[in-house]
């Protein structure tokens, strides 16, 4: 089938101005992993409320650390994984209720470029068979000769010259860069409109990465493609993307034009990621101390409030501090103080494993509750995080001390300065469906003035 005849179908009442892909509050939760002792465990919120549109012809980047949900989101957009909630429209077609059988006519329009060529290419098939396979699946070749002709044409487009010399060879005979060109040829052979490229150059040597990315941009222009590019690498995103979404624990913290985000990032996480890449331009420091602390948390137990708050250097009292943050802050303090101080404080606070840790409180068992409460009040503000700013109450009782923390809302994205940003530093806007946040007193927060972010002072 020619490209024009594919475009002539009448499957959807497509409005020329409508986005090619429209994503609203998309969620993909996996069943909980359970524990050794049984029980289902909390669901893994791999994708948790993502919203964005992709216009025809654009390159939209999904950027984030390992575990942020990029791959799950990419696969959910193609319904290779069934999202568990939200809305997903492609060319105006509501994809959410479609069964795999109903999706089949659309599959040839939706391409996927994999990261690992070895996983994407069947080593037992010749290049003609492997790259031509999708044509057979979708009935897009008239006969074998037509299939070989189409494969040869696509090999030519992806720079494997002369194409005839590749047809009857096997993928393993090719170099890494050539194999990735094959993967691209296979993804584009059905002439898709929307292509999701999942870390398309991450497995390649530095020396060939730029050439493969340039090829992808060239093919985009020639074949009228729209890309969603998944990458953990901001330099790749900067080179390729028109717009970028910064993903953190299943949701965007900031998204908008690539230039806007690179030139003037607003979210502390975006700023930290950008500070981590060495850039040649004058005025941008190669590495600073603003890198996020620690690792991305478990998506089955996302932090309350803003999910980034435990790692955020700008976090303040309304960012969602909870009991485990207080315990972690004490742990960190004890790695920083001298041995004598550690021994004294351990004797007073007791082993942290003995503390009863809840979302909105921590109870420390203690034989001298008054002394411990006084120490906590005095040292709390000096802990190596802002957790104590959220403490509402330190109560000495018989046998222990209870520290209570105020619940705070999960931020919802706001529009400002040419991008969406989900951060309380820009005003308190709570996500209505953030059901893991506890029960913040939204009424009390209505007139709250957040502090000025440190970089604006």
Ligand X SMILES: Nc1ncnc2c1ncn2[C@@H]1O[C@H](COP(=O)(O)OP(=O)(O)OP(=O)(O)O)[C@@H](O)[C@H]1O
* Rounded Cα gap, residues 248 and 308, in angstroms: 7
**CB neighbour burial string for 332-354, b if at least 16 within 10 angstroms, e if fewer:** ebeeeeeeeeeeebeebbbebee
**CB neighbour burial string for 122-143, b if at least 16 within 10 angstroms, e if fewer:** eeeebbbbbbbbbbeebebbee
CB of 356 to ligand X, least distance (A): 27
List the x/- string, 140-179, binding to ligand X by CB under 6 A.
----------------------------------------
Check residue 112 for interaction with ligand X (CB under 6 A).
no
Task: Tell me which of 2, 35, 66, 335 binds ligand X, using CB under 6 A.
Answer: 66
List the x/- string, 254-293, binding to ligand X by CB under 6 A.
----------------------------------------
CB of 100 to ligand X, least distance (A): 17
List the x/- string, 222-251, binding to ligand X by CB under 6 A.
----------x-------------------
- Alpha carbon distances (Å) from 276 to 183, 263, 271, 363, 398: 30, 14, 9, 38, 49
Check residue 30 for interaction with ligand X (CB under 6 A).
yes
Check residue 307 for interaction with ligand X (CB under 6 A).
no
Q: Which is nearer to ligand X, 12 or 80 (CB)?
A: 80
Check residue 304 for interaction with ligand X (CB under 6 A).
no
CB of 74 to ligand X, least distance (A): 8
- Cβ burial, residue 384 (10 Å; 0-12/13-18/19+): middle
Residues 250 and 69: beta-carbon distance below 8 Å: yes
User: Segment contacting ligand X (CB under 6 A): 4-12, 62-70, 158-166, 449-457?
Assistant: 62-70
* Rounded Cα gap, residues 434 and 305, in angstroms: 8
Query: Cis peptide leading into 162, omega within 30 of 0?
Result: yes
Residues 339 and 296: beta-carbon distance below 8 Å: no
Q: Name which of residues 42 to 61 contact ligand X (CB under 6 A).
A: 44, 46
Site residues for ligand X per CB under 6 A: 30, 44, 46, 64, 66-72, 232, 299
């Amino acid at each position: 089938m020619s490209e024009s005849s594919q475009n002539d179908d009448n499957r959807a009442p497509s409005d020329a101005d409508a986005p090619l892909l429209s994503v609203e509050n998309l969620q993909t939760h996996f069943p909980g992993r359970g524990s050794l002792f049984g029980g289902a465990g909390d669901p893994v919120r791999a994708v948790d409320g993502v919203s964005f549109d992709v216009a025809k012809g654009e390159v939209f980047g999904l950027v984030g650390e390992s575990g942020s949900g990029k791959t799950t989101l990419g696969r959910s957009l193609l319904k290779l994984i069934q999202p568990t909630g939200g809305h997903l429209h492609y060319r105006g077609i509501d994809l959410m209720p479609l069964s795999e059988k109903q999706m089949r006519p659309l599959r040839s329009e939706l391409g996927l470029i994999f990261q690992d060529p070895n996983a994407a290419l069947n080593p037992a098939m010749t290049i003609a068979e492997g790259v031509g396979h999708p044509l057979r699946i979708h009935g897009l070749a008239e006969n074998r000769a037509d299939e070989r002709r189409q494969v040869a044409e696509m090999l030519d487009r992806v720079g494997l010259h002369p194409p005839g010399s590749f047809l009857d060879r096997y993928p393993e005979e090719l170099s890494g860069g050539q194999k990735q060109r094959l993967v691209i040829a296979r993804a584009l052979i059905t002439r898709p409109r929307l292509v999701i490229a999942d870390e398309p150059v991450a497995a390649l040597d530095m020396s060939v990465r730029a050439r493969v990315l340039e090829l992808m941009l060239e093919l985009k222009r020639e074949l009228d493609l729209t890309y969603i590019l998944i990458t953990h690498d901001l330099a790749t995103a900067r080179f390729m993307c028109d717009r970028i979404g910064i993903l953190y624990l299943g949701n965007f913290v900031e998204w908008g034009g690539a230039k806007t985000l690179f030139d003037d990032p607003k979210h502390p996480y975006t700023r930290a990621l950008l500070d981590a890449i060495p850039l040649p331009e004058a005025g941008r420091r190669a590495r600073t101390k603003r890198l996020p602390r620690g690792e991305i948390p478990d998506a089955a137990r996302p932090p309350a409030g803003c999910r980034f708050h435990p790692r955020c250097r700008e976090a303040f009292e309304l960012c969602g501090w909870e009991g485990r943050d207080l315990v972690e802050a004490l742990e960190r303090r004890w790695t920083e103080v001298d041995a004598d101080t550690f021994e004294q404080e351990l004797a007073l606070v007791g082993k942290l494993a003995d503390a009863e840790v809840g979302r909105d409180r921590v109870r420390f068992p203690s034989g001298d509750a008054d002394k411990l409460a006084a120490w906590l009040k005095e040292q709390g503000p000096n802990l190596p995080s802002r957790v104590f700013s959220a403490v509402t109450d330190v109560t000495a009782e018989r046998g222990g001390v209870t520290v209570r923390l105020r619940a705070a809302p999960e931020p919802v994205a706001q529009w400002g300065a040419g991008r969406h940003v989900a951060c309380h530093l820009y005003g308190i806007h709570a996500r209505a469906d953030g059901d893991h946040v506890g029960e913040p007193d939204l009424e009390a927060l209505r007139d709250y003035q957040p502090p000025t972010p440190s970089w604006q002072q």
